Chain A
Amino acid sequence: MQVHRPYTLHDALALMAATPTPTPIAGGTDLLVSWHHKPKEKLALLDLSQLGGELAAMRLTADTLELGALTTYWDVIASPEVSRAFPLLAEAARQVGAMQIQTRGTWAGNIGNGSPAADGVPVLMAYDATVVLQSTRGRREVQLDGYYTGYKKTVRLPDELIVAIQIPRRTRKAEWFEKVGARAAQTITKVGVAVVNDEKGWRVVANSVAPYVCRCRNLESALQKGQKFKSPEEIRDILKNDIAPINDMRSTAAYRETVLSRVLFYRLADKA
């Protein structure tokens, strides 16, 4: 196993361009779990923790919040300004694993790992975030909605690093996040959903109900048209075209579908 510790983004990108491509590591809260499970002798790691500077910073301007790639959940929780401007970020951050995970885990890492159960991604996608990717070849911006192409598959090219996440500041009429799991805290998500209604319209983002975190576009258009729902079943019927939950050891497809539609029904009707 190799660990590279570059001090500048320039060096980091140069390393990413090398063969074999190293695996970027920041907090390590996802990577170490799988590493313990099955250590890879050949693994080359690119430790980003020394980069600091722009990658560690959060910048809140009049129209954007930019989270440098090293921004942790804790950074958001500990910032009253960011928590006020984007309350769902703080709410989701507090439900990502334990505080010990929140202090190390990064938003960019949560995006990069690509887990369908990622707790940080639904709120970012609901806030219409953009992912900033950089390589020695240049820099590009990709909508988070569109970043995933399949289970643990993303549009990031092997030599690209996530360097920042940008979130537009907009006037919002509704925003909420709900996570359902077995126990009261530090629980693995059975189903989670983030909902935002802003000047660009409704965005409903669910996790653990598809191979990757995704928007529920049919439900969004129904909401856009001002449709009122009479029962959770009505929402469930619409969601059938939006999600593809599976049975696994953590829950069942039927449950995920039922609970997601119930949560949406009661929260949208402000009954829960």
Chain B
Amino acid sequence: MATTVEAPGTSPIGRSTPRVDGPLKVSGAAKYASDFHFPGMLYAVPVGATIANGRVVKIDAAAAEKMPGVRKIFHRENIGKISRSVLGPGFEGICDERRPPFEDDVVRYYGQYIALAVADTFESAKAAADAVRVSYDKEKPNVSTDLKADDEPQVVVTTFGPANRVRSERGDAAGAFASAPVKLDQTYVTPAETHNPIELHATTAIWDGSTLTLYESSQGVFNLQGVLAQMFGLPKENVRVITKFLGSGFGGKLWPWTHCPLAAAAARQLGKPVKLVVSRKMMFQTVGHRPRTQQRVRLGAAADGKLISLQQDYVNDKAILDHYHEDCGEATAFQYSVPNLRVAFGRAKRNIGSPTAMRGPGAVPGLYATESALNELADQLKIDPVQIRVLNEPKIDESLGIPFSSRHLLECFSVGAEKFGWSKRTAEVGSMKRDGLTLGWGMAGCTWVAARFPAAASVQLRDDGTARVACGTQDIGTGTYTVLAQLTAQRAGVPLDKIEVVLGDTSLPAGPISGGSMVTGSVIPAVFAAADNAIASLLNIAVTTPGSAFEKRKPDELAFEGGRVFAKVDGVAKGVPFADLLGRANLRLVTGGGEGAATFGNPKPKFSTQSFGCHFVEVTWQAEIARLRVSRVVTVIDAGRILNPLAGRNQVEGAVVMGIGMALFEHTTYDPQNGAPINSNLADYVMAVNADVPPIEVHFLDYPDKEINELGARGIGEIGLAGIAAAITAAVHHATGVRVRELPVKIEDLI
């Protein structure tokens, strides 16, 4: 259970801080994309294809168009020009589904939008969408779950550009495996998972002459701005995207989806604001998902458990036209020491909507496979699973040949084992009991990349003693509003309750995507630089303003601390509050801008920057009534300095909750006949509810990583989901003797 631990001292950094946007969220006053209403606003409801492969022969909208309140039924013939977008330099213009909606009459996945009903009310639009009659030339869809890689060249196209299918390689992995004394060769499967943020994807589009404004549920307003500008042939500055509050996204809202240009195109033609909210059912079809993966892992080891060879060959399914690669090998090449390694991938085209990044993309399914394999190898050798990891701890990042900036994985293991009581574990299957229940104990390690995206911010100091900090990033729910307030409070000495934080708008300084667990790390240098620049202006004003206490001084004789300007020789006690200085100068405010450079994508890094951690899990098993529950979790995370332990712990707990779902419940299943996701609702796509969640203990090792930023803070949004499924399946094996290599664990398989 979360407890609040106060850091010593008065700095807001590292102190458990209730969210500054909390009162808005708990009172329903926080405005999400679908909460903005405008005079004359129309409602749009898309019509999705009811086949997954074939061609639209005819769309009969006659009846629908005559229904009361209906403004227009849009389809390929009348939607107007929507162009394609391309990837630009520096990760600009990213999009997983490049084909603009209605571009041709081919249907490539079930639910692909083929028409759009727009009406005065939601009810009329929904009824009209339902009344549109479509005839198809239907072909059998391929949604096969048996993934054999398509024949693709060695270098393939991916969402982010070209990639070599041999992702990592060193030594002679195949040769070393062949001669290894101990071998393990298993295939692990993770199913399609759907993000299912509770906020439905939504767009409200408004055209004002040549300017397009979008209220969108977006994890990346600037990327969306760039893609939409391309699609509608507009200068970027003529597109404004606003995401004040984001009902999470887990990656599903990182890149644009087709509903967004549809709403914009409808608004362009009808000259009125158009609101389009994607239904829950459609969210299983048209806004991405984590793809199914099939991963063959081969481990070769010495008799003592030391790894000699590691091979990971994986395949993910992808849409017919697009190029998503689930980077399951993301962490494989550096997590453990092994001289011979080869990680390679392939993709298999299917009649499904494009997959996309979902929380911990790549590493989460990847670590499920590699950590599971390591657990199996430990069992095979009768070595404790913690011990086999300690034995294979690397001294450096062997994939890059450079040191880690800050790696304390061994300490994670020892802290976790101690807190969990791991030493009491008896290895034999089914050997541990409590209150008539069979216990299973399992563990796994985890890691997630740490880096910075480019970020800009502005800080204003105002004559009423308040400050404003602005950055065009989004708060996805991780606490970004609060972190920006903390950073500004720290640097400008303004109390938290006197700081206004403005986010989620392309009219603000360009901020990073809410992705990769990188927002906090990226904004630190930007906000600090902005605050420093505002303070520098203030010092100039202090020495130039007639009547100022510092009129005779030079700026470099002054300093700023705790919201006061003072002469270094006199000390802060004789300082003057910035509000007083601004008042004397008859200035409402001073503004400073600041930027932070990217480290993400650096081709020649000096250090390997990653976060690390581990999970220890207990499950209870009642064979009599086939009841499996996760009953206890201890998670230890080494993510550098934690700026807000209250929100930080929540992040990791939430990831563990999602991991319980990943391990035991979640999968999207496609109907082999028509290609539809069949469990496309929140009763049949089972996610963990409150009663499923056991006590979760989260421990942070607080080692600041100064390679990342001046505070030493890496990210924590995703790492908690990495490894947890492998720990749970290990615990399930320990309790039941059943080795589950295809997620989720189904109780059907355990009896």
Q: Which residues of A line the B interface, CB within 8 A?
A: 37-39, 41, 178, 180, 182-188, 249-252, 254-255, 258-259, 262-263, 265-266, 271-272
B627 near A258 with CB under 8 A, answer no
A188's partner among B626, B678, B683, B692 (CB-CB below 8 A) is B683
Give the docked Cα–Cα distance between A248 and B626 (Å): 18
A184 near B625 with CB under 8 A, answer no
A266 near B625 with CB under 8 A, answer yes
Q: How far is the CB of B319 from chain A (nearest CB, A)?
A: 23
Instruction: Please name all residues of chain A whose beta carbon is closer than 8 Å to the beta carbon of B624 when the two chains form the complex.
Output: 262-263, 265-266, 271-272
> Given A249-B679, A255-B748, A263-B624, is A39 in contact with B689 using a C-beta cutoff of 8 Å?
no
Q: 19 A-B residue contacts at CB 8 Å? A: A37-B281, A39-B130, A180-B627, A182-B665, A182-B686, A182-B747, A183-B688, A184-B629, A184-B689, A185-B689, A254-B748, A255-B626, A255-B747, A255-B748, A259-B625, A263-B624, A265-B624, A272-B622, A272-B625
Residue of A nearest to B678 (CB): A249
A188 near B684 with CB under 8 A, answer yes
Instruction: Please name all residues of chain A whose beta carbon is closer than 8 Å to the beta carbon of B686 when the two chains form the complex.
Output: 182-183, 187
Instruction: Please name all residues of chain A whose beta carbon is closer than 8 Å to the beta carbon of B688 when the two chains form the complex.
Output: 183
Q: How far is the CB of A257 from chain B (nearest CB, A)?
A: 11
Q: State whether the Cβ of B586 lies closer than 8 Å to any Cβ in chain A.
A: no
Q: How far is the CB of A101 from chain B (nearest CB, A)?
A: 11
B748 near A185 with CB under 8 A, answer no
Given contacts A255-B747, A263-B624, 19 further A-B contacts (CB under 8 A): A39-B127, A41-B131, A180-B626, A182-B747, A183-B665, A183-B686, A184-B629, A184-B689, A184-B691, A184-B692, A185-B690, A186-B689, A188-B683, A259-B751, A262-B751, A263-B625, A266-B624, A272-B622, A272-B625
Q: How far is the CB of A261 from chain B (nearest CB, A)?
A: 11
Give the docked Cα–Cα distance between A263 and B627 (Å): 11
**7 smallest beta-carbon distances between A and B, as pairs:** A185-B691, A184-B691, A255-B748, A266-B624, A272-B624, A184-B692, A259-B626
Q: How far is the CB of B500 from chain A (nearest CB, A)?
A: 36
B626 near A252 with CB under 8 A, answer no
Instruction: Please name all residues of chain A whose beta carbon is closer than 8 Å to the beta carbon of B523 when the two chains form the complex.
Output: none
- Most interface-central of A39, A182, A251, A262 (chain B CB within 10 A): A182
Instruction: Please report the total number of B residues contacting A with Cβ < 8 Å.
Output: 28
> Given A187-B686, A249-B679, A259-B751, is A41 in contact with B127 using a C-beta cutoff of 8 Å?
yes
Give the docked Cα–Cα distance between A188 and B685 (Å): 11
Residue of B nearest to A252 (CB): B748
- Most interface-central of A39, A41, A180, A184 (chain B CB within 10 A): A184
Give the docked Cα–Cα distance between A251 and B131 (Å): 34
Q: How far is the CB of A100 from chain B (nearest CB, A)?
A: 13
Majority SS of interface residues in chain A?
A: loop
Instruction: Please name all residues of chain A whose beta carbon is closer than 8 Å to the beta carbon of B679 when the two chains form the complex.
Output: 249
A38 near B130 with CB under 8 A, answer yes
Q: How far is the CB of B554 from chain A (nearest CB, A)?
A: 67
Give the docked Cα–Cα distance between A38 and B130 (Å): 8
Q: How far is the CB of B718 from chain A (nearest CB, A)?
A: 23
- Most interface-central of A183, A251, A255, A263 (chain B CB within 10 A): A183
Q: How far is the CB of A104 from chain B (nearest CB, A)?
A: 16
Give the docked Cα–Cα distance between A182 and B679 (Å): 14
Residue of A nearest to B626 (CB): A259
Scan residues 674-732 of chain B and give those whose CB is less than 8 A from a CB of chain A: 678-679, 683-684, 686, 688-692
Give the docked Cα–Cα distance between A38 and B126 (Å): 10
Instruction: Please name all residues of chain B whose beta carbon is closer than 8 Å to the beta carbon of A255 when the two chains form the complex.
Output: 626, 747-748, 751
B748 near A183 with CB under 8 A, answer no
Q: State whether the Cβ of B664 lies closer than 8 Å to any Cβ in chain A.
A: yes
Q: State whether the Cβ of B669 lies closer than 8 Å to any Cβ in chain A.
A: yes
Give the docked Cα–Cα distance between A263 and B669 (Å): 28
Instruction: Please name all residues of chain A whose beta carbon is closer than 8 Å to the beta carbon of B622 when the two chains form the complex.
Output: 272
Scan residues 107-151 of chain B and give those whose CB is less than 8 A from a CB of chain A: 126-127, 130-131
Q: How far is the CB of A169 from chain B (nearest CB, A)?
A: 29
Q: How far is the CB of B25 from chain A (nearest CB, A)?
A: 20
A178 near B625 with CB under 8 A, answer yes
